[in-house]
Structure 1
Amino acid sequence: MAHVDRLANTHVLVFGGTSGIGYAIANMALHYGARVTISGSGQAKVDTKVEKLRSLYPNTPASNVAGFAADLLDKENLEKNLKSLLDQVTNGGKNKVDHIAFTAGDQLSLPKVQEVTIETALHGFTVRFLAPAIIAKLLSTGAYMPVSANSSFTLTGGTNTHRPMPNWTFAAAIGASVEGLTRGLAVDLKPIRVNVVLPGAIHTELFQGLLDVSTPEKIAGLKKGFSLLDAFGQPEDIAEAYAWIMRDRFANGGLVTSDGGRLLVGTESLG
């Protein structure tokens, strides 16, 4: 039997799909013949990126790319906002999603241990932990995703959870909570598969902001400190990790790294 690409003719929903890793996942999925829906915090930017994706694949029906905004920072209305989004994405459950990649995140809160408050310690959990937790609740109903090993929900953590830099205590704690959520959901949502990808230093728009205020010497030090390859990863590199998880019906409850060997590098030069 000839090999068939398992992403072809599937429906992929990407949270955080307007930039960085999320946009690269959407681009990759379209290339392999999937129907793609992206979500971001603002509808104007979502619409712009939908049109850009359509322009990259002019022979693909325009209906194969869609996008809807959702405010994941609105904690009081988070479940309502996510349910509304999933209803739009799936046409009320008639056209379910096969795969969800969750790459959304707001600006990281990095309070120092000596200065942390209850509010600053908890702030970073809203988008990165609470939002995927509520998505999982909605998926558990069976209304939005087929309850099958062909289906997947992939979260995003970070290698700094395992090798935190100075003053990254609370960011590392958020990442650890996402990893625990992943393992628990893999059990509770079975046979839907749940995994988490741990990016290293990926050259996204957000990361470029750090480079813009760094000297060439500092950038060279970051490359050495963040990777055995003396380089930063590209979003299109790590997008393949999400693709593998979507395709592999036996990948479940796992932590997948794409970090250039980041976990084998010390943190001393990064403080």
Structure 2
Amino acid sequence: MPTTLVIGGTSGIGLAVAQQLSLRGDDLHLASRGQDRLAKATVAVEGSRGHVLDAGQPDAVRALAASIAPVHRLVITLAGNGGAGPLADLTVDELRRAFEEKYWPTVTALKAVLPSLAPDASVTLVGAITARAAMPGTAGIGSLNAAIEGLVRPLAAELAPIRVNAVSPGYVDTPWWDSFPPDARAAFFAQAAETLPTKRIATAADVAEAIVLLATNPNITGTVIETDGGARLAA
């Protein structure tokens, strides 16, 4: 039974990944900072175990990984809301905070888990289509996600035979959008869907299917799957 650690696995894409891998029979471990969300997630993912964890704390991550080693599948689905908007309107401190929310915790957690990975393990990260599409107002958040996706190919070569991949989602209906009032969110999604070749906003399960493919297929490494509904084409 493969041991899987999903960091950021209590909502949205991370939770959907955990649910799908649970159906495959994985020994699921979910890690998140929020105790309440973690408790709900472990109920939603039958048989999973929850761990309160700050991905930016290397000693805590290292201890957790060592306690469940060997880790066969590591999925890091950390999210952040910073870095969006015209570059001229963003302060350097705001950009730094955006990287502190997502990029540095991703790198910190990955480094801390490395000693506990199985020899044939997989690592799957989550970037975003802002790293690839020329969309006004995304220079900050796009460079953040480009930094995450930029880890994939060098690490796939460096860590082989451990496999390293990522997904690059576009618009996805997840709690990331909860700061929008419901009516505004629905209107934005409807408008955005009309610009996409697929004419729909992705669900967390849509993106999770791509992550599960990368995490489980032994012949894929050094790859970033664009699961964006064609947003990079429309942009």
Aligned residues: 235
The AA in structure 2 aligned to 1:163 is A
Structure with the greater alpha carbon radius of gyration:
1
**Any idea what the Cα deviations from partners look like across 1:165-188, whole Å, max 9, x if unmatched?**
322111000011111112221122
Question: Of residues 88, 95, 107 in structure 2, which corresponds to 1:133?
Answer: 107
Q: Partner residue of 1:157?
A: 127
> In 2 relative to 1, CA 216–131 (structure 1 residues): closer, same or farther, beyond 3 Å?
closer
RMSD: 2.0
What stretches of structure 2 of length at least 5 have no aligned partner? none
Residue 137 of structure 1 and its aligned partner are, at CA, apart by 2.4
Asked if structure 1 preserves the Cα contact closer than 8 Å seen for 2:156 and 2:162, the reply is yes
Higher-strand-fraction structure: 2
Shift of 1:211: 6.4
Q: Percent identity?
A: 23
1:214 corresponds in structure 2 to 184
TM-score between the two structures when normalised by the length of structure 1: 0.79
The 8 Å contact of residues 2 and 72 in structure 2, kept in 1 or not, is answered as yes
Q: 2:51 aligns with which of 68, 78, 82?
A: 68
Give the deviation of 1:111 after TM superposition.
5.1
Given candidates 20, 32, 38, the residue that maps to 2:24 is 32
Matches within 5 A, 1:172-251: 172-207=142-177, 209-210=179-180, 212-214=182-184, 218-225=188-195, 227-251=196-220
> Could you tell me whether the CA contact under 8 Å between 1:159 and 1:263 is conserved in 2?
yes
Partner of 2:139: 169
The gaps in structure 1 that reach 5 residues or longer are: 1-8, 55-61, 267-271
Query: Normalization by structure 2: what TM-score?
Result: 0.91
Q: Report the CA distance shift for 1:215/1:190 in structure 2 as closer, same or farther (over 3 A).
A: closer
Structure 1 range deviating more: 215-224 or 151-160? 215-224
What letter matches 1:192 in structure 2? Answer: I
2:82 to 96, 99, 108: 108
Counterpart selection for 1:50 from 28, 31, 42: 42
Q: Give yes or no for the alignment of 1:258 onto 2:227.
A: yes
Superposed structure 1 runs of 4+ greater than 6 Å apart: none
